[in-house]
Each structure stands twice: as C-alpha cells, then as structure tokens.
Amino acid sequence: MAFVRVEQRNAHLAGAVRLNSVEGRDGPISKATLTAISNTRRGSGDNRGEEATAIQWTLWGKQAENAAQYLGKGSHINVVGRVQNNNYDRDGETVYTMAFTAEEIDYLDTKAEGEALRGKQSPAPADGDPAPHAKPASKAKGAKSRKATAATAQTELDEHGDPISF
C-alpha cells in the first residue's frame, strides 16, 4: 500500500483540538483530531475568488498532547502528512474513506497569540466529551516548529462518531 504525502500550508484551526486516549500495541496512546482550513485564491481580476479546503488530521502520541495544549480555534499551522485510503463494511455495504495522518506540524502563532486564542475557548468540556486540552508530560522547548512522527492511521470519525467518507 502506498502513502501519498500531503501538505497544508498557512492553515487555521476550525475548532478546538479533540484529544482522547486509544489502546495501542504498547498500552494507551494519545490521539488528537483537528480540522485545518486553508484558503486558495483562484482566477484573476473580477473573477478572482477564494476556495477553502478543510482537512481533518489525526495526530498521535506526544505530538497529539502538544497540539491539544498549545493550539486552539483559529491557531495558524502548517501540516505535512500522508493520506491513506481505507474501507470497511457497514450494514453489508463497503464504505470508502480517506485518513489524513500528520507527520509534522509547525506552530505559526507566537506564544502570546496562542494563549489569547485558547483563552477565548470554554475551559470545561461537557460530560462524555473528550478533553479539549491535555498537559504533555514535559513542556516543549521554545522552538517555533515542533515535529513528531505519527503512528499508524485509523478510520477518521466526524463530530457525531460517524466515519468520514470521501
């Protein structure tokens, strides 16, 4: 199976990072989901318009924990990752999906901008919802770009828990 590399540049987050824990081969591992939107300008003159592209990314491990702590709705990022076709049977029908897994994520906001964006979000999740923010085991050093390697891809789910099909 081949993986296709995907880059999403100058994107902003559509909502808070959703963080939860899933069972991995070596025990529990953090999994975060975020939706990044980037705009592309097409055409020229009076016909010039913008086209928005939204991609739901999955992050794993330490990368997921850091994203949940440092990113909030509206945060600016660059993401490099891979896309993989997935399929599964649902009620006797084959459902085809695409999973986007982040391998590298660059945080483009300053520390003050990031804190201001996170401060505007509600601090307490509703019962049963995954925590929007989690503290990583150790604070990352002041590097603007934090990179981590992603684990295996799984089927992506929307906010209602249904698989995303493309």
Q: Look at residue 150 and tell me whether its pLDDT is greater than 80.
A: no
- Residue 162 — pLDDT band, cuts 50, 70, 90? low
Q: Percent of the chain having pLDDT more than 70?
A: 71
Strands 18-24, 93-107: pairing is unpaired
Q: Look at residue 69 and tell me whether its pLDDT is greater than 70.
A: yes
Residue with tokens 């828990």: 161
- Residue 116 — pLDDT band, cuts 50, 70, 90? confident
Q: Look at residue 127 and tell me whether its pLDDT is greater than 90.
A: no
- Residue 56 — pLDDT band, cuts 50, 70, 90? very high
Q: What is the mean pLDDT of the chain?
A: 76
Q: What is the model's pLDDT at position 122?
A: 52
Two structure tokens written together for 60: 């794993």
Helix H or strand E segment including 153: none
Q: How close are the terminal C-alpha atoms of the chain, in Å? A: 19
The domain made up of 4-147 is a member of CATH 2.60.40.2470: no
- Residue 137 — pLDDT band, cuts 50, 70, 90? very low
DSSP symbol at 140? P
Entry pTM:
0.63
Burial of 21 (0-12, 13-18, 19+ CB in 10 A): middle
Q: Please report, for the chain, the start and end positions of each structural domain, with discontinuous segments joined by +.
A: 4-147
Q: Look at residue 35 and tell me whether its pLDDT is greater than 50.
A: yes
Burial of 26 (0-12, 13-18, 19+ CB in 10 A): exposed
